[in-house]
Amino acid sequence: MKSPRKLLPIVALCLATLASAKVSITGAKTGINPLSGEVPSRLNINTLHQQGGPAWSLYVRALAAMQAVKPNEVLSYFQIMGIHGRPLIPWDDKSQAAGPNGYCPHAENLFLPWHRSYLALFEQVLVDHAIALANEYPITERSKYRSAAESLRIPYWDWAEDATIPPAVGQPEIQVDTPEGQKTIRNPLYSYNFPEEAVRGDYGSITGTRDRRQTKRCSPAEANARLSAVNFKGLVYDAFTRSDTFAKVASVGSDGVVMSFEQPHNSVHIRAACGNNFAYPSDAAFDPLFMLHHANVDRLWAMWEELYPSERALTPPYQSGGTYAIAPGTTITNTSPLLPFYGAGDNAHTSAQVQDTAAFGYTYPEINRGASSADARRDGMRATVNKLYGPGARAASATPSSAAPNAANSNVTRRQLEEVVHDVEATISPNIDDTVDNVRNAVTPRAQAEYADLSDIGDTAKDIIDDTVDAVVDTVTDIAGDVVDFVEELLGIEFFAQIRVNGANVPTPCEVNVYIGGRVAGSFDILTAPHGGGVVEGEIPLEDLIESFDLRSAVNESTHAVSILGQNVHVEFLHPDGTPIPSDQYDGQVEISLIDIDVTSDSNPDTFPVYGESRRTNVSAKPAPLRTKCRRSNRYADLPGVKLRV
């Protein structure tokens, strides 16, 4: 078998046209059905790994081959991943706009479309490597490997559905099938070894004070513990159901954001890193976990686009804080260039051009392009979102979280309650008269037979039985009605804590924990402030906190709920490694508001909750008591001496 380095001339020959001029980023264009136009799907990495076979081996080997390309090559792993942050050098000879940061726009609305183009470039190069490797297999196997290579697309890590590190990523070595048989190789998903040129500083500072020899992150066990503290399903579900415009869902720095996909994205970066590369935008992309993570963010956006097809455009225009290629203050619109990514004819990609994933040659398993109508596609996607991330899915996979660290998890979900209401109303109430007659008819004949010779006593017994049956049925009916009323009240209001942080004046990246009544209500993680400074914001669902305090009956009225939940609100800032940040570095830079919103919903699997009027109450948030070290064992412990008065 030829080593990845010996294969480089072959790959270089395949990519010669691509690299000799400006790189034309088209995405992978192989494996597309010539009759139907159907494009291959990006798969969950756990699915791809479990299936094994040619596709898995080619994916791992192609990634290893990419990482082996010399760093001065424009299509090397080093250069492609360096586009995101450091090194601060032009990529593909695209000029710099004097910005002090990398090309990546974080905390602004270019975040989603820019990364879609970035992923397309990476996928395009990876598939080219896979095809070159497939041609090295014996002639008897070459056809199936070639087919697998052409249909190969980068996998995604669905951290919202399963917030644990994929097994294939957490091991330093991995088995693959090669042309000479099965072999164990260094796992290119585990870490990236920086090239010698970067280690000795030829490209300047890349990793700051972090190890410049190879990328590092948490051990899988510690990462999983940190990730379990975030209700990713809840955050993603709220983005799908409440953020119905691009501005609401695009970014934590968006004006008018409700719940963005960037918010849980930031938490994944910080929680899986333990203070290492993956938590820092300057070098996060070098970690092989990066593309798996961002493929999932792109997938969530693609699913959201199916639900709100008329809201795909980047609107409204805004002023960019600046990147390596965008001057601060530049007005960004739906047709602004996504630099440094160019398509055919040396024309820069724009947000308007990347709204359809099929244009880049890929899709996701959840996208049903064969649906009979647009309405059918939306209904199907709502059902999919409910199944993967809805209340029922959250209950089925419930684990202790930061939002309710001391509470027993409830066995009753919102959707199950809705089903109970539906069954009670549909079954008991309309048929209550029939129920009374059926019970009476079943009991009375037996009573009459038993007392046939004692007519007076029999009549008395009959009356007693009739009265008892009526009383029992009436009582059951009253209880059922009370349950219906009570459950409907509980389902009528949802509560959120909105958090706004002046990102320019706090140390980033950082983890922000919000405590209510001494317990963690949730977290808001900040990867970076908008370039040029500015506010970042998001929301924390308070459902788990309400359950942990057993406040269901106490929060039926929003005014009462706010008076309860608004007590003793504290915030705590931590560095990515868990070290507490002194309060004088963030005090006065945080605003907390309680949001209560009317909601109606039903148990149909293809519908979302309908949100109505919302109310906002500003609350006073104080710095949490400083701890000497927030180790994993006590990071989310209750604040001592802080209580909630109900």
Determine the Cα–Cα distance for residues 587 and 574; give it in Å rounded to an integer: 13
> Region 368-385: what's the mean pLDDT?
90
Predicted local distance difference test score (pLDDT) of residue 408: 31
More confident residue, 460 or 197: 197
More confident residue, 426 or 244: 244
Find, among 22, 119, 100, the residue nearest to 326 by Cα.
100
Say whether pLDDT at 588 is over 50: yes
Say whether pLDDT at 88 is over 60: yes
Cβ atoms of 96 and 318 closer than 8 Å: no
Residues paired with 621 in a beta bridge: 569
Instruction: Give whole-number Cα distances, 443 to 195, 447, 459, 462, 472, in Å.
Output: 86, 6, 13, 9, 13
Which tokens hold the place of 346?
A: 């040396």
Q: Please tell me whether residue 96 adopts helix, strand or coil conformation.
A: coil
Predicted local distance difference test score (pLDDT) of residue 73: 96
What's the CATH code, domain 4-15+34-217+273-367?
1.10.1280.10
CATH class of 492-623: mainly beta
Say whether pLDDT at 398 is over 70: no
Q: Which residues contact 247 (CB under 8 A, 6 or more apart)?
A: 109, 254, 255, 256, 257, 315, 316
Phi, psi torsion values for 434, nearest 5 degrees: -60, -35
> Region 38-58: what's the mean pLDDT?
98
The mean of the pLDDT values for the chain is: 83
Predicted local distance difference test score (pLDDT) of residue 637: 67
Find, among 516, 517, 512, 494, the residue nearest to 502 by Cα.
512
Predicted local distance difference test score (pLDDT) of residue 330: 92
Count CA within 13 A, CB hemisphere, residue 217. 33
Say what percent of the chain tops pLDDT 70: 75
Which tokens hold the place of 630?
A: 């927030």
Instruction: Give whole-number Cα distances, 242 to 152, 237, 310, 469, 606, in Å.
Output: 34, 8, 16, 48, 15
Which tokens hold the place of 606?
A: 């293809």
Domain positions in the chain: 4-15+34-217+273-367, 431-489, 492-623
Query: How many helices (H) and strands (E) in the chain?
Result: 20, 14
Predicted local distance difference test score (pLDDT) of residue 17: 40
Using the CB atoms, write b or e for 229-255: b if 16+ within 10 Å: bbbbbbbbbbbbbbbbbbbbbbbbbbe
More confident residue, 514 or 634: 514
446-461 pLDDT, tens per residue? 545 544 454 555 556 5
Say whether pLDDT at 257 is over 90: no
For residue 159, the one-letter residue type is W
Q: How confident is the model at residue 211 (pLDDT cuts 50, 70, 90)?
A: confident
Predicted local distance difference test score (pLDDT) of residue 504: 83
More confident residue, 29 or 645: 29
Predicted local distance difference test score (pLDDT) of residue 4: 46
Other CB atoms within 10 Å distance of the CB of residue 375: 9
Cis-peptide into 87, omega within 30 deg: yes
Among the ranges given (3-12, 134-143, 342-351, 508-517), the one the predictor scored with the smallest mean pLDDT: 3-12
Phi, psi torsion values for 171, nearest 5 degrees: -120, 135
Say whether pLDDT at 571 is over 60: yes
Which tokens hold the place of 354?
A: 């990347």
Determine the Cα–Cα distance for residues 94 and 341; give it in Å rounded to an integer: 9
SS (H, E, C) 127-170: HHHHHHHHCCCCHHHHHHHHHHHHHCCCCECCCCCCCCCCHHHC
Say whether pLDDT at 331 is over 80: yes
> Region 99-115: what's the mean pLDDT?
91
